[in-house]
Amino acid sequence: MKQQRFLLMMLVFVASLFFYNCSNESTNTARVQVLLVDAPGDYDEVNIDIKDILINRTGEENGWESIGNVQQGVYNLLEFTGGAEALLADTELPSGDIKQIRLLLGDNNTVKIDGEVKKLDTPSAQQSGLKLQLNTTLTDGILYTFILDFDADKSVVKAGNSGKYNLKPVIRVTTEATTGAITGKINPFEYLASVSAYNETDSISTQTDSLGKFFLKGVYPGTYKLKITPDTLSGFEPKELENVVVTLGNVTDVGTVNFE
Protein backbone atom coordinates (compact mmCIF):
# COMPACT_ATOMS: atom_id res chain seq x y z
CA MET A 1 0.00 0.00 0.00
CA LYS A 2 2.83 2.38 0.91
CA GLN A 3 4.60 1.47 -2.30
CA GLN A 4 1.48 2.27 -4.37
CA ARG A 5 1.08 5.62 -2.62
CA PHE A 6 4.77 6.40 -3.25
CA LEU A 7 4.34 5.63 -6.95
CA LEU A 8 1.28 7.87 -7.14
CA MET A 9 3.19 10.71 -5.49
CA MET A 10 6.06 10.28 -7.97
CA LEU A 11 3.63 10.42 -10.89
CA VAL A 12 2.11 13.62 -9.52
CA PHE A 13 5.58 15.11 -9.04
CA VAL A 14 6.63 14.33 -12.63
CA ALA A 15 3.36 15.77 -13.96
CA SER A 16 3.94 18.86 -11.83
CA LEU A 17 7.33 19.45 -13.41
CA PHE A 18 5.78 19.10 -16.87
CA PHE A 19 3.05 21.62 -16.20
CA TYR A 20 5.54 23.91 -14.46
CA ASN A 21 7.64 24.08 -17.60
CA CYS A 22 4.62 24.62 -19.82
CA SER A 23 3.29 27.31 -17.50
CA ASN A 24 6.60 29.18 -17.42
CA GLU A 25 6.77 29.17 -21.21
CA SER A 26 3.21 30.42 -21.61
CA THR A 27 3.51 33.30 -19.17
CA ASN A 28 6.60 34.89 -20.73
CA THR A 29 4.81 36.01 -23.86
CA ALA A 30 2.03 38.28 -25.05
CA ARG A 31 -0.19 37.65 -28.05
CA VAL A 32 0.04 40.31 -30.75
CA GLN A 33 -2.23 40.93 -33.72
CA VAL A 34 -1.44 43.46 -36.47
CA LEU A 35 -4.35 44.94 -38.41
CA LEU A 36 -4.24 47.02 -41.59
CA VAL A 37 -6.85 49.74 -42.14
CA ASP A 38 -7.01 52.70 -44.52
CA ALA A 39 -8.35 56.20 -44.95
CA PRO A 40 -10.27 56.65 -48.26
CA GLY A 41 -8.30 57.65 -51.36
CA ASP A 42 -9.34 59.07 -54.74
CA TYR A 43 -8.19 56.04 -56.75
CA ASP A 44 -9.70 52.82 -58.07
CA GLU A 45 -7.11 50.71 -56.24
CA VAL A 46 -3.92 51.20 -54.25
CA ASN A 47 -2.07 47.89 -54.01
CA ILE A 48 0.88 47.47 -51.67
CA ASP A 49 3.20 44.46 -51.53
CA ILE A 50 3.77 43.49 -47.87
CA LYS A 51 6.75 41.21 -47.23
CA ASP A 52 7.26 41.46 -43.48
CA ILE A 53 6.56 43.40 -40.29
CA LEU A 54 9.54 44.40 -38.20
CA ILE A 55 9.78 45.51 -34.59
CA ASN A 56 12.60 47.18 -32.68
CA ARG A 57 12.95 46.69 -28.95
CA THR A 58 16.01 48.86 -28.38
CA GLY A 59 15.61 51.79 -30.77
CA GLU A 60 19.05 50.98 -32.23
CA GLU A 61 19.43 50.63 -36.01
CA ASN A 62 20.62 47.02 -35.67
CA GLY A 63 17.72 46.12 -33.38
CA TRP A 64 15.13 45.22 -36.03
CA GLU A 65 13.58 41.74 -36.06
CA SER A 66 10.64 40.10 -37.80
CA ILE A 67 7.42 39.84 -35.83
CA GLY A 68 6.82 36.39 -37.34
CA ASN A 69 3.68 34.73 -38.80
CA VAL A 70 3.14 37.60 -41.26
CA GLN A 71 0.53 37.12 -44.00
CA GLN A 72 2.58 38.19 -46.99
CA GLY A 73 0.81 39.41 -50.11
CA VAL A 74 -0.49 42.31 -52.17
CA TYR A 75 -3.24 44.25 -50.40
CA ASN A 76 -5.61 46.76 -51.97
CA LEU A 77 -5.77 49.43 -49.31
CA LEU A 78 -9.12 50.72 -50.52
CA GLU A 79 -10.76 47.46 -49.44
CA PHE A 80 -10.04 48.29 -45.81
CA THR A 81 -12.11 51.40 -45.21
CA GLY A 82 -15.36 51.93 -43.33
CA GLY A 83 -14.54 49.43 -40.59
CA ALA A 84 -13.02 46.72 -42.80
CA GLU A 85 -9.55 45.46 -41.88
CA ALA A 86 -6.88 42.94 -42.86
CA LEU A 87 -5.19 40.70 -40.30
CA LEU A 88 -1.49 40.87 -41.21
CA ALA A 89 -0.13 38.90 -38.26
CA ASP A 90 -1.25 36.93 -35.21
CA THR A 91 1.72 35.82 -33.14
CA GLU A 92 3.27 35.38 -29.70
CA LEU A 93 6.07 37.77 -28.71
CA PRO A 94 8.28 37.87 -25.62
CA SER A 95 6.97 40.34 -23.08
CA GLY A 96 8.81 43.63 -22.64
CA ASP A 97 9.29 46.94 -24.42
CA ILE A 98 8.81 47.58 -28.13
CA LYS A 99 10.11 50.94 -29.35
CA GLN A 100 9.28 50.92 -33.07
CA ILE A 101 7.45 49.02 -35.81
CA ARG A 102 7.52 49.18 -39.60
CA LEU A 103 6.35 47.41 -42.76
CA LEU A 104 8.84 45.81 -45.14
CA LEU A 105 7.56 46.36 -48.68
CA GLY A 106 8.23 44.51 -51.92
CA ASP A 107 8.32 45.76 -55.52
CA ASN A 108 4.81 44.78 -56.63
CA ASN A 109 3.10 48.06 -55.71
CA THR A 110 0.54 49.57 -58.09
CA VAL A 111 -2.15 52.21 -58.33
CA LYS A 112 -5.23 51.96 -60.54
CA ILE A 113 -6.57 55.27 -61.89
CA ASP A 114 -9.60 55.43 -64.21
CA GLY A 115 -9.19 51.75 -64.97
CA GLU A 116 -5.48 51.99 -65.80
CA VAL A 117 -2.93 50.22 -63.60
CA LYS A 118 0.32 52.11 -63.02
CA LYS A 119 3.41 50.92 -61.20
CA LEU A 120 4.19 52.64 -57.93
CA ASP A 121 7.89 53.36 -57.77
CA THR A 122 9.12 52.83 -54.25
CA PRO A 123 12.36 54.55 -53.22
CA SER A 124 14.76 52.07 -51.62
CA ALA A 125 14.62 54.03 -48.38
CA GLN A 126 10.84 53.53 -48.29
CA GLN A 127 10.88 49.79 -49.02
CA SER A 128 12.23 49.12 -45.54
CA GLY A 129 9.27 51.06 -44.19
CA LEU A 130 8.83 54.11 -42.05
CA LYS A 131 10.12 53.86 -38.50
CA LEU A 132 6.88 54.24 -36.60
CA GLN A 133 7.20 55.07 -32.91
CA LEU A 134 5.35 52.53 -30.78
CA ASN A 135 6.79 52.75 -27.24
CA THR A 136 4.62 49.94 -25.89
CA THR A 137 5.33 47.50 -23.08
CA LEU A 138 3.90 44.02 -23.63
CA THR A 139 2.63 42.34 -20.47
CA ASP A 140 2.57 38.57 -20.00
CA GLY A 141 -0.67 36.95 -21.09
CA ILE A 142 -2.29 40.03 -22.64
CA LEU A 143 -3.60 40.25 -26.22
CA TYR A 144 -2.48 43.45 -27.98
CA THR A 145 -3.73 44.80 -31.29
CA PHE A 146 -1.45 47.01 -33.38
CA ILE A 147 -3.47 49.03 -35.91
CA LEU A 148 -1.60 50.29 -38.97
CA ASP A 149 -3.64 53.09 -40.57
CA PHE A 150 -2.20 53.45 -44.08
CA ASP A 151 -3.26 56.76 -45.67
CA ALA A 152 -3.54 55.81 -49.35
CA ASP A 153 -4.40 59.31 -50.53
CA LYS A 154 -1.28 60.88 -48.99
CA SER A 155 0.99 57.91 -49.74
CA VAL A 156 0.59 58.03 -53.55
CA VAL A 157 2.54 60.94 -55.02
CA LYS A 158 2.50 61.96 -58.69
CA ALA A 159 6.02 62.48 -60.05
CA GLY A 160 5.60 65.82 -61.84
CA ASN A 161 4.40 65.56 -65.45
CA SER A 162 6.14 62.24 -66.09
CA GLY A 163 2.95 60.24 -65.66
CA LYS A 164 4.68 58.16 -63.00
CA TYR A 165 3.67 57.72 -59.39
CA ASN A 166 5.72 57.15 -56.28
CA LEU A 167 4.75 55.33 -53.11
CA LYS A 168 5.82 57.26 -50.01
CA PRO A 169 3.95 55.53 -47.17
CA VAL A 170 2.12 57.66 -44.65
CA ILE A 171 1.15 55.36 -41.78
CA ARG A 172 -0.26 55.99 -38.33
CA VAL A 173 0.11 53.27 -35.70
CA THR A 174 -1.93 52.76 -32.55
CA THR A 175 -1.88 50.03 -29.93
CA GLU A 176 -4.71 48.71 -27.82
CA ALA A 177 -4.84 45.95 -25.25
CA THR A 178 -7.87 43.77 -25.88
CA THR A 179 -7.67 41.28 -23.00
CA GLY A 180 -6.48 40.91 -19.43
CA ALA A 181 -5.24 37.97 -17.34
CA ILE A 182 -5.77 36.25 -13.98
CA THR A 183 -3.03 34.90 -11.74
CA GLY A 184 -2.75 33.41 -8.26
CA LYS A 185 -1.53 30.36 -6.34
CA ILE A 186 -2.85 27.61 -4.12
CA ASN A 187 -1.69 26.35 -0.73
CA PRO A 188 -0.70 23.59 -0.22
CA PHE A 189 0.72 23.02 -3.71
CA GLU A 190 1.86 19.39 -3.57
CA TYR A 191 -1.06 18.38 -5.77
CA LEU A 192 -2.04 19.75 -9.17
CA ALA A 193 -5.29 21.66 -9.47
CA SER A 194 -7.41 22.70 -12.43
CA VAL A 195 -8.41 26.36 -12.55
CA SER A 196 -11.35 27.72 -14.52
CA ALA A 197 -12.68 31.26 -14.96
CA TYR A 198 -16.17 31.57 -16.38
CA ASN A 199 -19.16 33.85 -16.75
CA GLU A 200 -22.30 33.86 -18.90
CA THR A 201 -20.42 34.44 -22.17
CA ASP A 202 -16.92 33.04 -21.80
CA SER A 203 -14.78 30.44 -20.06
CA ILE A 204 -11.09 29.67 -19.89
CA SER A 205 -9.06 27.11 -17.93
CA THR A 206 -5.52 26.12 -17.00
CA GLN A 207 -3.60 24.05 -14.45
CA THR A 208 -1.35 24.93 -11.53
CA ASP A 209 2.40 24.36 -11.78
CA SER A 210 4.71 22.57 -9.32
CA LEU A 211 4.73 25.65 -7.06
CA GLY A 212 0.95 25.94 -7.03
CA LYS A 213 0.88 28.98 -9.32
CA PHE A 214 -1.59 29.51 -12.13
CA PHE A 215 -1.90 32.04 -14.94
CA LEU A 216 -4.97 32.45 -17.15
CA LYS A 217 -3.99 34.47 -20.19
CA GLY A 218 -6.04 36.19 -22.90
CA VAL A 219 -9.11 36.72 -20.70
CA TYR A 220 -11.65 39.15 -22.09
CA PRO A 221 -12.71 42.00 -19.77
CA GLY A 222 -15.56 41.19 -17.44
CA THR A 223 -16.51 39.70 -14.08
CA TYR A 224 -15.79 36.01 -13.59
CA LYS A 225 -16.22 33.18 -11.13
CA LEU A 226 -12.97 31.33 -10.50
CA LYS A 227 -13.23 27.62 -9.69
CA ILE A 228 -10.19 25.76 -8.37
CA THR A 229 -10.41 21.96 -8.27
CA PRO A 230 -7.50 20.13 -6.60
CA ASP A 231 -6.54 16.62 -7.66
CA THR A 232 -8.74 14.00 -5.99
CA LEU A 233 -5.65 12.53 -4.30
CA SER A 234 -5.43 15.69 -2.19
CA GLY A 235 -8.75 15.04 -0.46
CA PHE A 236 -9.66 18.75 -0.78
CA GLU A 237 -12.99 19.98 -2.11
CA PRO A 238 -13.12 22.56 -4.95
CA LYS A 239 -13.26 26.24 -4.06
CA GLU A 240 -14.92 29.05 -5.97
CA LEU A 241 -14.10 32.76 -5.90
CA GLU A 242 -16.81 35.26 -6.81
CA ASN A 243 -16.54 38.62 -8.61
CA VAL A 244 -13.07 38.29 -10.09
CA VAL A 245 -12.84 41.41 -12.27
CA VAL A 246 -10.64 41.45 -15.39
CA THR A 247 -9.80 44.76 -17.11
CA LEU A 248 -8.04 45.64 -20.35
CA GLY A 249 -4.28 45.28 -20.30
CA ASN A 250 -4.07 44.31 -16.63
CA VAL A 251 -3.28 41.13 -14.68
CA THR A 252 -5.73 40.44 -11.84
CA ASP A 253 -3.94 38.75 -8.92
CA VAL A 254 -6.31 36.81 -6.64
CA GLY A 255 -3.48 36.01 -4.22
CA THR A 256 -3.15 32.69 -2.39
CA VAL A 257 -6.14 30.36 -2.14
CA ASN A 258 -5.77 28.21 0.99
CA PHE A 259 -7.17 24.69 1.16
CA GLU A 260 -5.96 23.76 4.65
CATH of residue 220: 2.60.40.1120
What would the pLDDT profile of 182-203 be if each residue is shown by its tens digit?
Answer: 999 999 999 999 999 999 999 9
Answer yes or no: are the C-beta atoms of 106 and 167 closer than 8 Å: no
* Residues 187, 102 share a domain: no
* Residues 172, 117 share a domain: yes
Is residue 121 pLDDT above 70, yes or no?
Answer: yes
Mean pLDDT of the chain: 87
Question: Could you say which of 177, 198, 215 is where a domain stops?
Answer: 177
Whole-number pLDDT of residue 6: 38
Question: Could you say which of 177, 212, 229 is where a domain stops?
Answer: 177
With respect to residue 16, please indicate whether it lies within any of the assigned structural domains.
no
Is residue 23 pLDDT above 60, yes or no?
Answer: no
* Residues 148, 199 share a domain: no
Least confident of 25-29, 173-177, 241-245: 25-29
Model confidence at 16, pLDDT cuts 50, 70, 90, reads: very low
Domain total for the chain? 2
* Residues 123, 52 share a domain: yes
Question: Could you say which of 132, 158, 177 is where a domain stops?
Answer: 177
* Residues 236, 120 share a domain: no
Least confident of 12-16, 82-86, 126-130, 199-203: 12-16
Q: Which residues contact 108 (CB under 8 A, 6 or more apart)?
A: 47, 49, 74
Whole-number pLDDT of residue 125: 54
Least confident of 8-17, 156-165, 198-207: 8-17
* Residues 148, 215 share a domain: no
Whole-number pLDDT of residue 9: 42
* Residues 158, 39 share a domain: yes
With respect to residue 125, please indicate whether it lies within any of the assigned structural domains.
yes
With respect to residue 3, please indicate whether it lies within any of the assigned structural domains.
no
* Residues 146, 38 share a domain: yes
Longest dimension (CA), the chain: 93
What would the pLDDT profile of 227-260 be if each residue is shown by its tens digit?
Answer: 999 999 999 999 999 999 999 999 999 999 999 8
What average pLDDT does the segment 80-105 reach?
A: 92
* Residues 161, 45 share a domain: yes
With respect to residue 4, please indicate whether it lies within any of the assigned structural domains.
no
* Residues 86, 97 share a domain: yes
With respect to residue 213, please indicate whether it lies within any of the assigned structural domains.
yes
CATH number, domain at 44? 2.60.40
Which of the two residues, 10 and 117, has the higher pLDDT score? Answer: 117
Whole-number pLDDT of residue 40: 73
* Residues 56, 141 share a domain: yes
Q: What is the extent of the structural domain holding 246?
A: 180-258
Please state the pTM of the whole predicted model. 0.79
With respect to residue 104, please indicate whether it lies within any of the assigned structural domains.
yes
